[in-house]
Structure 1
């Protein structure tokens, strides 16, 4: 779970105030960008995937809900083999997460490797996030069901023990794939898929009958299944959205430094546009392969937003901030449009940020456009045949493979057209080489 951002240290406070004071410059760059208006604003119609709608309930009603199963501490102890170290999946602000196994139907602990795999989150005794956050998690995930929200199977509330039982996500968190370098970095197509899934999760929360503000959207809270479908987890900081004529929710500032929206940090006023800002930060992380805040970098590069803003709206310079692990293997138009979407989400003015349903539509258009371009490439990539009849000079062939008849009157025109065509191909090859080897170029 996230950290409390209230009363930050002087060092953090200085960083936040510099972000706020520079907002006018940032905003002017966004609005002057020529590519910003090219993004289509549409309406997301993803309601068919909604299984349930959140409605406020008392603690007793929540814990007795048929949607989640109450586990005893001993059952979860057996399921995780006594919370052994080799079953540990990770650690967060809430506590430790262990891998376990239960019977699919009875939910009784089963032998490792048999039954259903689960993830058990166990609250640390010394954790500052206690029963309130634990109950918030059960409240929301116990009633909200969507393909892009992690499934809560059950809970344990026994004595001082507070545990949560989730479906197991075999690919772990997005944070691990982006920042802990493995043998193969995530390809662009997978990053786009993750962005779409996470955006759908937020759109569902924002458009629900009883609106929910996630408040802690970040790479470590985006979990991935075996097919890299993204699911939001960790709802301990979630808040019910404003009701009636209210435009915002006033609350203590909570979240994670680098992801929280500047107006929320400054005023404590929370809206769905705060989540949109956080999504823009994660989209930048997907583009660059860098953390929102990285103290190992020098100067402005420590702050991902400040470092990337000058490049996001510039097609020619965008490659400078792209993740080098991609090795230039990405469609330039798709990446540029994604960068412009990130710029919109990071607008200093909350009202000018798009709704998450609009972000979903625009990202899905990128994905479909990419698939169409792949199909066209396959159709046009057939080899060109060359015919060389015996006793005759070799003649060039048309793209269809047939010998090209060149009457005398048209021969000069053909040669000129052919020369122009070859020059265009050479330019394209040069541009492709430049993109793939940009880290070797000196501008």
Structure 2
């Protein structure tokens, strides 16, 4: 299978973003070319410990990948060791990847840092190290699959990477967008990598010089049957399959299901409106189902059989930005509620006999709200003396105040007995505590007293209580 010929470089060099229109474009606004370093084979051999198994990261489309520590262990990178020694540009994906990645660079791409050659003239690529593996492993092999917010963010980041490639001058068509070519960096952001099959140039030029259709089964555009069918919409179809894979957690092709193709299964379900059927069942259903429905609708548009009806990546990015914004708003709202639950003051329900007040204590760490209990129900027998406003300021460490019954102190002991009044003395149990409040004085209101003291009667004195032999009912702990 052939690839983009290096001879095409002379045809598109005048369109290179680093060489064209330098007179019209201000220097400070022009993208500065980045330097691709050429390493020696011995440097890479030493940095990977001789390409030992302990440094092995995985298999790529055209070779094995190893972890490398370069620049005196200051730089961690990944080294792609190709398996072919054919250095002709028409057949070597490593040469093709070097040629393309030396021209484009973006935060959402796995960028090229340098390259080297071995004694057999095989190319070794040095690219950015992605410590969190591939999106494929995260979706299908992880014991904790990513949540909906993270899946939406991955989708948007990959869309931005593809949009950047398509809007480059000249454009780059990746031709192999799939979950195993999406890598996760140290900040858990998605990066698009592996440009071995990518083609660079304007569509008309690429179609003339293009190779036969290439890609991965399950992601390959069914309308891409000949070189003349190639366009940026070929990548849009593959991206749509990737989004369906992200939403459902199913492989692009899975023989354990019928139909095995994720697009043949998911698109009819989406058209029927039963979106919940395609949501990954391994995680909780999304809280914002409408946002996930919008994501599924975007995927369905991308995998339309007619390429001209598919949206461009700029439109896809704008749609996904809205979905991502909704998911972020949901996260912040939930976080705000949780913070309120943790930091807020939890108050008991208040009734007519209780209220919340603040008792400031200067210089104390225990400034907080305390409960003020108000004793309002006082039974005073047939004489019917008015209600007692008896406020007790206390903290949680103070015991409860039992029901209090008072009789007029001016009645003699005999008169009280004749009246048959059930006399109860206030019983208050106090425990020693630094947070103990103040037991305020009890005030008796006499509705029958019409003088100017508003019916305030002094508390029974201790002597009278002793005479009534009821002092034992008052306990202080």
Per the shorter chain, which TM-score range? 0.5 to 0.7
| 1:241-320 matches, cutoff 5 A | 241-243=201-203, 251-265=211-225, 269-295=229-255, 297-300=256-259, 302-315=260-273, 317-320=274-277
SS at match of 1:170: coil
> 2:371 maps to which residue?
none
- Find the aligned partners of 2:336 and 2:147 in 1 and give their Cα distance: 23
Shift in Å at residue 271 of structure 1?
A: 0.2
Shift in Å at residue 390 of structure 1?
A: 4.1
* Equivalent in 83, 107, 114 of residue 124 of structure 1: 83
* Equivalent in 122, 128, 148 of residue 167 of structure 1: 128
Answering whether residue 302 of structure 2 is matched by residue 345 of structure 1, we say yes
- Find the aligned partners of 2:311 and 2:106 in 1 and give their Cα distance: 22
* Equivalent in 350, 355, 370 of residue 388 of structure 1: 350
* Equivalent in 197, 200, 212 of residue 237 of structure 1: 197
* Unmatched segments (≥5 aa) in structure 1: 5-51, 57-64, 104-109, 393-443
**How many aligned residue pairs are there?**
323
Shift in Å at residue 265 of structure 1?
A: 3.1
Shift in Å at residue 273 of structure 1?
A: 0.2
Answering whether residue 157 of structure 2 is matched by residue 157 of structure 1, we say no
Deviates more, 1:274-283 or 1:115-124: 115-124
Shift in Å at residue 171 of structure 1?
A: 0.9
- Find the aligned partners of 2:147 and 2:202 in 1 and give their Cα distance: 38
Q: Is the helix fraction higher in 1 or 2?
A: 1
SS at match of 1:89: strand
> Larger radius of gyration, structure 1 or 2?
2
Shift in Å at residue 218 of structure 1?
A: 0.6
* Equivalent in 120, 140, 149 of residue 179 of structure 1: 140
| 1:44-123 matches, cutoff 5 A | 53=17, 67-103=35-71, 110=72, 114-123=73-82
Cα pair distance change 1:101/1:330, threshold 3 Å: farther
SS at match of 1:223: strand
Answering whether residue 163 of structure 2 is matched by residue 203 of structure 1, we say yes
SS at match of 1:119: strand
Per-residue CA shift, 1:255-301, capped at 9, x if unaligned?
A: 10010111103675200000000000000000011110112x1431x
Task: Calculate the TM-score normalised by the size of structure 2.
Answer: 0.62
- 2:87/2:95 contact within 8 Å kept: no
Shift in Å at residue 368 of structure 1?
A: 1.1
- Find the aligned partners of 2:67 and 2:110 in 1 and give their Cα distance: 15
Answering whether residue 268 of structure 2 is matched by residue 323 of structure 1, we say no
Cα pair distance change 1:177/1:376, threshold 3 Å: closer
- Find the aligned partners of 2:19 and 2:212 in 1 and give their Cα distance: 23
- 1:241/1:248 contact within 8 Å kept: no
Task: Calculate the TM-score normalised by the size of structure 1.
Answer: 0.67
- Find the aligned partners of 1:268 and 1:136 in 2 and give their Cα distance: 20
Shift in Å at residue 223 of structure 1?
A: 1.0
- Find the aligned partners of 1:243 and 1:271 in 2 and give their Cα distance: 6
SS at match of 1:368: helix
> 1:365 maps to which residue?
322
Shift in Å at residue 246 of structure 1?
A: 8.9
What is the Cα-based RMSD across aligned positions, in Å?
3.0
| 1:418-437 matches, cutoff 5 A | none
Compare relative contact order (CA 8 Å, sep 6+) and give the higher one, 1 or 2. Answer: 1
